[in-house]
């Protein structure tokens, strides 16, 4: 566990041990002082594939700007109430379609 440029994070490996260490951001409700080893390992469950929609994978992850869904190289932000670790395939598709609808209305 350490504090990086974008806040607290977990790290697996060091540059001396591997070519490139893996990093995962700490969840909002977690504190560096109290996080357990098991909780830290859970942070590495992302990105995760929640299913396939229109012949393409639907991937949920957390990026620099927060949690998102990636589908057909289009990024859709998750809402504050959506947890990327448990968001369902159906909810992900709902958010993808909502984003498409909003963009279509803007372009109309």
Residues 75 and 59: beta-carbon distance below 8 Å: no
Mean pLDDT for 23-39 is 87
- As given in the structure block, the two tokens for residue 23 are 């990093």
pLDDT at 39 over 70: yes
How far is it, in rounded angstroms, from Cα 52 to Cα 45? 18
pLDDT at 59 over 90: yes
pLDDT at 50 over 80: yes
Mean pLDDT for 59-79 is 94
Tens of pLDDT, residue by residue over 70-95, are: 999 999 999 999 999 999 999 999 99
- Contacts of 20-27 with CB under 8 Å at 24 or more apart are 24/62, 25/62, 26/1, 27/85
pLDDT for 74? 96
Mean pLDDT for 25-45 is 88
pLDDT for 18? 66
Q: What is the pTM of this model?
A: 0.76
């Amino acid at each position: 566990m350490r504090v990086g440029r974008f806040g607290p994070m977990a790290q697996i490996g060091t540059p001396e041990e591997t070519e490139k260490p893996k990093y995962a951001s700490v969840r909002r409700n977690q504190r560096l002082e109290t996080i357990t080893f098991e909780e830290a390992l859970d942070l590495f469950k992302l990105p995760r594939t929640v299913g396939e929609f229109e012949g393409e994978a639907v991937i949920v992850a957390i990026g620099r700007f927060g949690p998102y869904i990636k589908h057909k190289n289009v990024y859709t932000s998750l809402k504050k109430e959506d947890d990327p670790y448990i968001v369902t395939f159906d909810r992900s598709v709902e958010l993808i379609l909502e984003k498409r609808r909003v963009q279509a209305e803007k372009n109309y």
